[in-house]
Amino acid sequence: MQAEAQTTKSLFSVGNENIELDEFLNVYKKNNMGKEIDYSESAVKDYLNLYINFREKVKEARDMKMDTASSVNNELATYRTTLAKSYLIDKEVTDLLVNEAYARLGKEIRVEHILIKCDQNATPADSLKTYLKATTIYNMLVKGKDFNKMAKDSSGDPSAKDNGGDLGYITALQVVYPFENATYNTPIGQLSKPFRTRFGYHIIKVLDIRTSRGTIQVEHIFVKLTKNSTHDDSLKAKAKINQAFQRLSEGENFEDIAKTESEDKTSAGEGGKLPTFGTGKMVPDFESAAFSLKNVGDYSKPIMSKYGWHIIKLINKIATPSLDAYKETLRKQVEKDSRAEVAKTSYILKAKAKFNFTENAAAKTELFSKMDSSLMKGLWKSEQATGLNKILFTLTDKVLKSEVKNYTQAELTDFIEKNQRKYMQPNDKSIMFNKMLNAFVEASLINFQEQRLDKEYPAFADLMKEYMDGILLFELTDQKVWSKAVKDTTGLRAYYSENKAKYPEEEKITVKTYTFKNVTATTAFNKLSAKGMDDNAIKIKLNKKDSTMFRFEISTYKRTLFENENSGLEWKIGSTKTNNGDNGAVEILKVINLIPVMPKPLEEARGYVVADFQEKLEKDWIQSLREKYPVHINEDVLTTIIKK
């Protein structure tokens, strides 16, 4: 549209500050995100007026130096750290990982595995020893050794004793990434060669591949059995589940039976409802029975798992969403998954190249010579390398923010002293030292890059400016309007006094209710009242022998409440109504006063008064800002936005 070609022109000025058309168009489009943008004259001018108010308030805050306050900058720094995380990753690699995960979620693979445990921080010698053991087992399997028997005999996975290494079906994002890769890259019926994860070395065998069954939600009725259950316990459990099934067959409600009979206390209160799950989340017997249910509402016959007896009812089937619909959710999962290390490694390598990472190997070797056994205990002191301050590595930026920055031995020694316990490696100081050096390099690269995000990514700079403006607006508005309306009690009372008619109280009626034990008491009251005796004196006289003979009370009602609860009484002084009660009791209601519409007391109307007082303070403030920072609108530029 024509407006796009005018984006270098000033749309309006606030005092001596010009606001460009492109800035206004950007915020106007954001405000209309998700709907068709209205460029009519009324819509554009209404929003322009709001935006001018916003710009004037922010200018006032900056002129007051609020942007230098530590509280403001601390909040901004917290936001910057959070926002920067989405920029300090390799987005291309992350996108590839998201697409790969989505494709893999379409398949489920049944896999067996043998684990030869090896600590992730093991020395090279220990790692080699474990690898050779895994290779020996692999060669035996290739020659025909039974996989399940080998798993029971040799696997470091405790579950292998029971399942022979059979993990059932798995899919993406359920196991560590190297294990997932091996699973998806091994053909049906084949063995993988030994591969490494943080748990040790694995050998897997793929038994089957099938299309993903998606996710489902079920309810269940559960009767518990344990390994220690006796034969009699087993008979009682089976009888109980069969009785529940019989009641279902006779038409009783599944959820009602689950609430009273199910021994799964977590789900029983919800009628047996379990969280949504997919392949690999439940024990195999339960999972198989649940996914075999065809239609919503179908329920299984009693089935047994290692936990006991279940009857399962299908309540929902959920197909895997499209990639577009699932992408953001999947991205968050990928960023938390072990595969995120792939994207991180790629990002660090690219950052090293971009900033011409140059390492001084001699300085690294010299510093390492100062490490001793105390390092492996987390007790090393930087004073053990006193005097060492040579350059370890250098980062150079000639494009975004010209700088050559050196990182020294002394900086690394400080990092080591503060962080060594996180990297403790009791067997090899070389591994521990190199891990800390790599961590220091990565942190330095990320910090170096983070300082340049504003230059490299205009969108980042815009978001930071928007957030700072938002903080300033909040802080100053709180001072000038929100808190002031609450704290300025004198101003609030003055405003209320001038405007109390805006807060009318509903007209009210006062009713006196006489309650008599019987007609005799009523007659006696009338006689005494006719003689001019007041109600309190009559009460004393009539209740002398029986305290329940007569009582009265006075109540005041708002008109709406009175009309709801006292039909039959007229809205006028002197109106009466008689109600006959149990055992001859009589109740007489009499209108004794009408209270006209009056202003509510301040305490009753406070919420409304504060809101209106804030609105007045806001209007007065904006007026003062317009006088302090005159506004000039470039009408010629404004007309380029408006569509007739």
Structural domain contains residue 45: no
Structural domain contains residue 50: no
Q: What pLDDT sits at residue 3?
A: 40
How far is the C-alpha of 165 from the C-alpha of 159, rounded, in Å?
Answer: 7
Quick one: which of 335, 320, 75 has its CA closest to 215?
320
Structural domain contains residue 523: yes
How far is the C-alpha of 516 from the C-alpha of 345, rounded, in Å?
Answer: 90
Phi, psi of 172 (to 5 degrees): -60, 150
Q: Are residues 190 and 227 in the same domain?
A: no
How far is the C-alpha of 166 from the C-alpha of 161, rounded, in Å?
Answer: 10
Which residues on neighbouring strands pair with residue 404, listed in sequence order? 396
Helix (H, G, I), strand (E, B) or coil at 408: strand
Q: Are residues 198 and 271 in the same domain?
A: no
First-residue to last-residue Cα distance in the chain = 13
How far is the C-alpha of 82 from the C-alpha of 310, rounded, in Å?
Answer: 46
**What contacts 252, CB < 8 A, 6 or more positions away?**
none
Quick one: which of 184, 203, 201, 181 has its CA closest to 192?
203
The counts of H helices and E strands in the chain are 27, 19
Among 290, 318, 346, the domain boundary falls at: 318
Number of other CB atoms surrounding residue 36 within 10 Å:
6
Burial level of 216, CB count in 10 A (0-12/13-18/19+)?
A: buried
How far is the C-alpha of 130 from the C-alpha of 109, rounded, in Å?
Answer: 27
Structural domain contains residue 53: no
Q: Are residues 203 and 226 in the same domain?
A: no
Structural domain contains residue 14: no
Structural domain contains residue 118: yes
Helix (H, G, I), strand (E, B) or coil at 144: coil
Note whether 355 and 319 are within 8 A (CB): no
Q: In the sheet that 107-117 helps form, which strands lie side by side, from edge to edge?
A: 166-170, 107-117, 200-211, 195-197
Domain count, the chain: 4
Alpha helices in 311-428, H assignment, sequence order? 323-336, 340-354, 361-368, 373-376, 409-419
Phi, psi of 218 (to 5 degrees): -135, 165
Q: Are residues 186 and 255 in the same domain?
A: no
Q: Are residues 181 and 266 in the same domain?
A: no
Q: What pLDDT sits at residue 319?
A: 84
How far is the C-alpha of 126 from the C-alpha of 119, rounded, in Å?
Answer: 9
Among 147, 177, 211, the domain boundary falls at: 211
Among 415, 430, 454, the domain boundary falls at: 454
Structural domain contains residue 178: yes
Q: Among positive and negative, which fits the CA dihedral 518, 519, 523, 529?
A: positive
Q: Are residues 587 and 558 in the same domain?
A: yes
Query: Where in 473-609 does DSSP place strands (E)?
Result: 504-505, 508-516, 550-558, 576-580, 586-595, 598-599
Burial level of 244, CB count in 10 A (0-12/13-18/19+)?
A: buried
Number of other CB atoms surrounding residue 257 within 10 Å:
20
Note whether 552 and 541 are within 8 A (CB): no
How far is the C-alpha of 201 from the C-alpha of 136, rounded, in Å?
Answer: 12
How far is the C-alpha of 567 from the C-alpha of 564, rounded, in Å?
Answer: 7
Helix axes 147-154, 124-142, angle to 10 degrees: 150
Q: Are residues 552 and 587 in the same domain?
A: yes
Structural domain contains residue 450: yes
Q: Are residues 219 and 199 in the same domain?
A: no
* Residue 285 belongs to domain with CATH number: 3.10.50.40
Q: Are residues 271 and 362 in the same domain?
A: no
Q: In Å, what is the CA distance from 632 to each residue of 51, 243, 501, 619, 636?
A: 13, 83, 39, 19, 12
Query: Where in 212-354 does DSSP place strands (E)?
Result: 215-224, 303-305, 308-318
Q: Are residues 306 and 237 in the same domain?
A: yes
Q: What pLDDT sits at residue 565?
A: 62
pLDDT along the chain (644 residues), means of 10: 52 94 92 86 95 96 96 95 91 94 95 94 88 96 96 94 92 95 96 96 96 94 91 94 96 95 94 93 92 95 95 93 91 90 94 97 97 93 95 97 97 96 84 94 96 94 94 96 93 95 92 95 94 94 94 91 74 91 91 93 94 96 96 94 85
DSSP state, residue 570? -
The whole domain housing 527 covers 507-596
Q: Are residues 566 and 522 in the same domain?
A: yes
Q: Are residues 233 and 306 in the same domain?
A: yes
